[in-house]
Amino acid sequence: MLRGVLRMDDERYLEEAFTLAERGHGGTHPNPLVGAVLVKDEEVVGRGWHLAPGRPHAEANALAEAGERARGATLYCTLEPCSHHGKTPPCADALVAAGIARAVIALGDPNPMVNGRGLRKLREGGVDVELAGATWAQRARRQNAPFLKFQRTGLPLVTYKAAVTLDGKVAAAGGDARWISCLDSRRAVHELRSRVDAVMVGAGTVRRDDPELTVRLADGRDPVRVVISHDGILPADAKVLTGARQVRTIVVVDQVSDAARRLLDARGAELIEAGEGGLRATLEALAGMGLLDILCEGGPTLAGELLAADLIDRVLLFVAPLIVGRGAPDLFAAPAVSAVDGAWRLKDVEWRPVCDDLLLSGTVVHRQG
């Protein structure tokens, strides 16, 4: 496996491969997002992306479009081609058989069934293999962060999103339910919902705000809705329940009464009993159902519990130019730390304006490794 110095055209075709990979968002689990471009004599002869499990992979789709023109072509791919028989044949074998001359790959596949074997098959088949370098590898890791987190830990990627005031409050002291953030910020949240597998809140948020948790201010599909509830007791007319037959809704409980069980069943909600495993067991169960990219829009209690359990991976905060003062609920109901050295920290922090708000994004530095 060699790391070459990419040419300008290489960068352009890799960029196209990443754009193609995005077309599979929301449908590829348990497989990753992958995009592929085949180029011969400075002309794109094949494009492909992965759409769903059991469907042809990105490389196979690009080969099908290219046909005989694949011979002598260069492959640009966002992830290492597979080398094993699953629901589809190995892409590495198909690429060698098609006679491609060169492959530029952004990232090796950490799946134990692949993990360098695909690159080795290509090299043994006479293909000149190049890894695109650290910048492209990091981009591939970001694009497939949920898949990579699941491969590494068995857990989904959890992003915590909230709108806060300048003094770190999520609402006014009087319980005013009007929006803190501006319209463009809310549109950005709906766009994010359309791209994740599930949106998660606590029972307190359902009772207090009665959210729909659907996509309305953007195009795209609705995510699965997940409600974390100690006892499963939710308002019978809550929007997440009345719409549970239209949008898949999961209620996770520690224990549940017969009456609550009957209500959830009548509304069409799915019930998961977490038992003693708590939030970690809940997230493992959700990942096992294919929900690898979870957006938590819960209130301070759920946010604090997830943070304390080291289960939040990323944070998105829409900071509004408001000050509401004492008595209003804080962003995280997390255990206090006695010194700054013990605080939860973010890395890779970015700030960008969204109408009158500022959007902060960052990755949580996990304190447990």
Task: Tell me: pLDDT of 1 over 50.
Answer: no
More confident residue, 274 or 73: 73
Predicted confidence band of residue 340 (pLDDT cuts 50, 70, 90): confident
CA-wise closest residue to 229 among 206, 199, 198: 206
Query: Mind listing the pLDDT tens digit for each residue in 75-126?
Result: 999 999 988 666 678 899 999 999 999 999 999 877 766 678 889 999 999 9
Catalytic residues: 59
**pTM score:** 0.86
Task: Tell me: pLDDT of 18 over 50.
Answer: yes
| Most trustworthy range by pLDDT among 77-86, 168-177, 238-247, 254-263 | 238-247
SS3 label, residue 97: helix
pLDDT at 2: 47
pLDDT at 224: 96
DSSP letters spanning 262-313: HHHHHHT-EEEE-GGGHHHHHHHHHHHTT--EEEE---HHHHHHHHHTT---
Written as six digits, the tokens of 181 are: 């953030």
Q: What is the mean pLDDT of residues 226-243?
A: 94
pLDDT at 335: 78
More confident residue, 357 or 5: 357
Query: Mind listing the pLDDT tens digit for each residue in 185-224?
Result: 999 999 999 989 999 999 999 998 999 999 999 998 899 9
Written as six digits, the tokens of 354 are: 């969204």
Rounded distance, CA 138 to CA 144, Å? 10
Predicted confidence band of residue 369 (pLDDT cuts 50, 70, 90): very low
Share of the chain above pLDDT 70, in %: 95
Written as six digits, the tokens of 353 are: 């304006």
Rounded distance, CA 306 to CA 334, Å? 9
SS3 label, residue 229: strand
Rounded distance, CA 61 to CA 302, Å? 43
pLDDT at 177: 66
pLDDT at 86: 66
Q: Average model confidence (pLDDT) for the chain?
A: 90
pLDDT at 252: 95
Share of the chain above pLDDT 90, in %: 70
In the DSSP assignment, the letter for residue 169 is B
Identify the H or E element spanning 203.
helix 203-209
Rounded distance, CA 366 to CA 47, Å? 38
Beta partners for residue 233, in sequence order: none
Residues listed for the chain:
369
CA-wise closest residue to 287 among 189, 150, 99, 103: 150
Task: Tell me: pLDDT of 327 over 90.
Answer: no
Task: Tell me: pLDDT of 5 over 60.
Answer: no
Task: Tell me: pLDDT of 62 over 90.
Answer: yes
Written as six digits, the tokens of 165 are: 């005031």
pLDDT at 171: 84
